A = this chain, B = another copy of it.
């Protein structure tokens, strides 16, 4: 199971500069706080760490460009942007989670489902009628794929994932434990004006109104582009009439909630616990920090960044940087904090002025 990689090959894969013995073999990437043996390749792009390795058991390191490498190191690779190197290095050493090849005998595949060649499906997984699984896709145990759902080629679906009927997922998806793609949207209407409608119109809640909640069924599905990653316990609901959509290359963390009809663009990053309410439209390359909330029907422009825990209640222009609840431009946030701090100063100034007025009045 252990991988053995030559330092020369690692240097090439990382696009870095090899130093020392390129034929030196390493077996494991190691954090400086967890060194176990001389076959460890230690990440030491932080220059402060290097002197500490002098004379240690460490013989192979990844360092920043121009670093002073201790003489006890036998081989090293100099890299530029360290997290880019980390991306390439972890990819080299990554081992896929083992699951026996092929279709496990316990798997249920309903009528009319199409499973492409070279697909693996783990024990107790269920493939609904008319579903399609693309070539080389790996489905771990205990997964549910609903009727007519489509999963693209080269995808990786972990245990407990639920993919609803008619959901379409593009190639090379990675979907983590217990994610839910394609539950019904949360959409109800009251026969007369609801309390929320009244509140929006009048600023207060009227007489008891939500006596009946009529369900709006979800006829749409979810359409997910290529190269999308979806985190554990995340939920993406189906659309009402047209589908909820996630663009190519978008990455979604754990515990994220994406409501019905939402459209998320390409290459977005939605961090843990983000929530996007129904019919919101998120542009391309948008980054939403942890636990950010987006109100329904809101539009967020391309390349915008929302700081963690902010709540986006209105439309956001492209390339905005926003924070707070309700979210406002970062500059305005800082100005508001300053305003608050100015109150103490104002109080003091006012007292001084009062005394000066008293003095003037005494004179009069």
Query: Which residues of A approach B to under 8 Å, CB–CB?
Result: 29-31, 33-34, 43, 81, 83-84, 86-88, 90-91, 93-94, 97-100, 104, 106, 108, 110, 122-124, 126, 128-129, 140-142, 144, 146-147, 158-160, 162, 164-165, 174, 176-178, 180, 182-184, 186, 188-189, 191-192, 194-196, 199, 203-219, 229, 231-235, 237, 240-242, 249, 251, 253-255, 257, 259, 267, 269, 271-273, 275, 277, 284-285, 287, 290-291, 293, 295, 302-305, 308-309, 311, 313, 319-321, 324-325, 330-331, 336, 339-344, 346-347, 349-350, 353-354, 356-357, 360-361, 363-364
Contacts and interface: CB of A to CB of B under 8 A. Distances in A.
A321 B217 contact: no
Most chain B Cβ neighbours within 10 Å, of A174, A180, A188: A180
Given A251-B188, A277-B271, A291-B293, A344 B339 contact: yes
Contacts of A211: 267, 285
Nearest to A284: B208
A331 B128 CA distance: 52
A215 B211 CA distance: 40
Contact of A177 (B104, B183, B271): B183
A56 B244 CA distance: 25
Given A98-B110, A159-B162, A291-B291, 15 more contacts: A31-B242, A90-B218, A90-B240, A97-B146, A140-B144, A144-B160, A144-B177, A160-B178, A186-B231, A195-B303, A199-B321, A209-B285, A209-B303, A212-B267, A254-B257
Given A159-B126, A237-B254, A272 B277 contact: yes
Given A34-B241, A255-B235, A360-B361, A189 B86 contact: yes
Copies of this protein, total: 3
B254 A331 contact: no
A339 B330 contact: no
A205 B301 CA distance: 12
A339 B331 contact: no
Contact of A237 (B100, B232, B241, B287): B232
B83 A216 contact: yes
A360 B364 contact: yes
A141 B144 CA distance: 7
A201 to B, nearest CB: 12
B215 A91 contact: yes
